[in-house]
Amino acid sequence: MTYENILVEKKNAIAYVTVNRPKVLNALNMATMEELRAAFHDIKSDAAIRVVIFTGAGEKAFIAGADIGELAKHDAVSGKEYTHRGQSVLNLIENLGKPVIACINGFALGGGCEIAMACTMRLASENAKLGQPEVKLGIIPGYGGTQRLPRLVGKGLAMQQILTGEMITAQEAYRIGLVNEVTAPAELIPRAEAIAAKIIVASRTERKASQWLPAERGRSRYSCGHSFGHPCPPCL
């Protein structure tokens, strides 16, 4: 599939997904969200892919938020449908069945911070800024931020972020548990790749071990013929 707003590359069991709208700080419009939906559905069904690295193009932003021009066109009714469509994409990412590492390389605001929180883990560059500034537009986080943020940092800190709309630094995000690690910008993707490599090795070990599990309910023996629950030294 050809994408206009994102880049997708697959190599070494890793899928690299990049929001590619640097001129607007990778702001999310619905066209971008639908491309993300298609890309993550493809990744989910691709057995060769074990880990996803998700980032934004350029050096200024991961995802700076929603496309305000597009958002302003909606009334309460169409805005509800717009929000539900976006939520379904984040739910897909969160429940992909494969680890998704968010590499936050700059601003992660509004929907951008919400997407990062839907990922399995978050790495941030030293220049990253995160926040939920929706209150300053008279709205609330619409893509699940009101639920995911408290789960990550606790209710009190989440309420402070949501009610003030303030941005926080990468270092503060690390302190409160919003991101896993903070790295130099040049080390962000390499660090994610190092983590991904460890995950891939571990997943291969798990798949190797799973051959000893029953393929279907009711089986009582390993594929080698030995009974479950008994030592199988020749096969170990």
Please tell me which residue in 9, 114, 172, 193 is annotated as part of the active site.
114
Count CB atoms within 10 A of the CB of residue 184. Answer: 11
Written as one letter, the residue type at 228 is F
Instruction: Please identify which of the residues 4, 35, 134, 216 carries the catalytic annotation.
Output: 134
Q: Is 166 in the active site?
A: no
User: Does residue 134 carry a catalytic annotation?
Assistant: yes
Closest among 41, 55, 46 to 7, alpha carbons compared: 55
| Helix or strand holding residue 56 (H, E) | strand 51-56
Give backbone dihedrals phi and psi of 98, rounded to 5 degrees, phi first: -135, 140
DSSP 105-124: -SEEETHHHHHHHHSSEEEE
Contact criterion met (CB below 8 Å) for 71 and 44: no
DSSP character string of 80-147? HHHHHHHHHHHHHHHTSSS-EEEEE-SEEETHHHHHHHHSSEEEEETT-EEE-GGGGGT----SSHHH
Distance CA(150)–CA(142), nearest Å, equals: 15
Residues catalogued as catalytic: 114, 134
